[in-house]
Amino acid sequence: MKKILLASTLCAVLVYGDAAALLPVEKRTFDQSKYIPDISAILDFSYVNNSVKDDEIAHLELPGVAHGLLGEHSHGDSNHATYNAKNGFNLNYAEVVLSSSVDPFLSMDAVFHFSEHGVEVEEAYFTTTALGHGIRARGGKLNSNFGYLNAQHHHYWDFGDMPLVYEAFLGMHGINELGGQIQWTAPTPFYLMAGFEVLQGTNEQMFGNESVDIEEFSGVEEDKIKGTSAPSLYVGYVKASHDIGDTTIAGGVSYAQGDSMIDHSDDHEGPHVFNGDAKLYGADFVVLHSLDSYSSIKWQSEWLGRELDGIQYNLETFINPNMNKKQSGLYSQLIYTHDKNWKMGVRYDTIYKNDVVANGVNKNMTDDFNKYSAMVEYHTSEFARFRLQYNRNEAMYNEDGNRVDIDTIMLQANISIGAHAAHSF
């Protein structure tokens, strides 16, 4: 009897529940479904085979430039890994993008990176739509428009990993900061745009302003390397472009300046902190020649140069030299898009200048950093692509200062669903 009662109640609920659900959208009194923003989800998944083991790769460095560049690193609770960090399978991210207009004056975009270790707000910003005169302002967490590659999301890149010079100077997220941006497109017949950004300045590899606690090293209570107040990073750029027939030429120059606090106090060997000023210069140049609607040749190059000037606090030896670093590098890549299905390309990466001067003495650091990449992509449609990439990395050194060359084969799947992504040039 109880069973019958239960079953009939259940049926009744189902029937009425269904009846409510069957009401057409336009008749639901407080229906808001028409306001759902554009939603897309992007999966980036890869299989990686490195010629060097994971444990070893994580300890390789670019002497005087960056360490802990490749592989996976744990800092207490937090886990930091670059794209395609591990041998075997990698879930680089499952990205969720929401975007919609807010009102007649603003639009909003939010990009969330879900990984196995948690969620990161990759970007979340509002953009003005009504200022006019070619002016657009943006506020929130955003990718700076410094250079060419920095504003693009990983899934839009032509290679699965970041160019060496970008990752070495700025880390895998590039200049990705809280702040505000204003851009002006000039009323010229050719494309001319200038922009300025005020950013928090919290880049791990280059910029920073938070004080670092060194009490555990010095034994002095509340001993700190004092930071500065945020925001402390300023970025400016000018970009121009012109078409000659079916060929587009685009170029830009960028500059970023900010306070620097590079915190390596957690390092097991030679913990240190760098504090000072940082300047970053960038120049980018892109030529795209369209052969037809689907086929094109694209040559894309960027040069980055930086200067770090300040004090390096060595927390074990307490020798704290004045440090000046002048470093430059570039990447240049050539991509041929054959048709809607096939795309292939090569890339050359280098950091060719690495002048590290401590207390006026040049440390004669190596400046022999090169990397070669080649890739071929197959697109089943606009929404799914599979990329086979080969890297020959001749830029990494072990703790004894010997170069360790790495060969990497990478098979990457980048899949998207939902709203149609439309990327800018």
Partner 1 sequence: MNKFLLLFFLPLSLFAHLNIAVSYPYIGALTKTIGGDHIETVVLAKGNWDPHFIIPRPSLISKVRNADALIMNGGQLEIGWLPPLLNRAGNPKIEPNAKTFLNLSHHIGLINKPSNVDRSGGDIHPEGNPHFHLSPQNILLLANTIKDFLISIDTEHKAVYEKNHSEFLSMWNQKMKLWSEKMANKKGLKVIQFHDNLAYFNNAYGLVNIGTIEPLPGIPPSSKHTIEMIELIKKENPCCILHDVYHSTKTAEFISEKTGIKVVLMPHDIEALENINDLGSLFDHLTSAIK
**Does 183 participate in binding partner 1 (rule CB under 8 A)?**
yes
Could you say whether residue 130 binds partner 1 (CB under 8 A)? yes
Of 68-76, 198-206, 287-295, 357-365, which segment contacts partner 1 by CB under 8 A?
287-295
Selected range binding partner 1 among 48-56, 235-243, 261-269, 272-280, rule: CB under 8 A: 235-243
Assess 34 for contact with partner 1 (CB under 8 A).
no
Q: Is 190 in the site for partner 1 (CB under 8 A)?
A: yes
- Look at residues 281, 282, 232 and name the one whose alpha carbon lies nearest to residue 261: 232
Among 129, 324, 332, 370, binds partner 1 (CB under 8 A): 129
Tokens of 277: 């000023």
Q: Are strands 88-103 and 106-115 parallel, antiparallel or unpaired?
A: antiparallel
Contact by Cβ (8 Å): 165, 330: yes
- Candidate residues 29, 269, 317, 425; the one interacting with partner 1 per rule CB under 8 A: 425
Check residue 76 and give left, alpha or beta (phi > 0: left; psi -120 to 50: alpha): left
Asked if 142 contacts 121 with a C-beta cutoff of 8 angstroms, the reply is no
Instruction: Match 């390092």 to its residue by tokens.
Output: 267
φ, ψ (nearest 5 deg) of residue 69? -80, -45
Check binding of 393 to partner 1 (CB under 8 A): no
- Residue closer to partner 1 by CB (options 142, 250) is 250
Is 293 a binder of partner 1 (CB under 8 A)? yes
Cβ atoms of 199 and 255 within 8 Å: the answer is: no
Cα-based distances in Å from 67 to 43, 61, 64, 263, 396:
28, 4, 8, 12, 9
From residue 401 to residue 420, what is the string marking binding to partner 1 with x (rule CB under 8 A)? ----------------x--x
Beta strands in 19-171 (DSSP E): 38-50, 61-62, 66-67, 72-75, 78-81, 88-103, 106-115, 118-128, 135-143
Q: Return d(Cα 238, Cα 146) in angstroms, integer.
A: 9
35 is an interface residue for partner 1 by CB under 8 A: no
Q: Is residue 40 a contact residue for partner 1 (CB under 8 A)?
A: no
Contact pattern for partner 1 over residues 73 through 112, marking x by CB under 8 A? -------------------------------x--x-----
Minimum distance from residue 3 beta carbon to partner 1 (Å): 39
Q: Which of 87, 115, 152, 185 binds partner 1 (CB under 8 A)?
A: 185
Amino acid making up residue 374: A
Task: Note the residues at the interface with partner 1 (CB under 8 A).
Answer: 104, 107, 127, 129-136, 183-193, 239, 241-243, 248, 250, 288, 290, 292-294, 296, 339-341, 381-383, 417, 420, 422-425
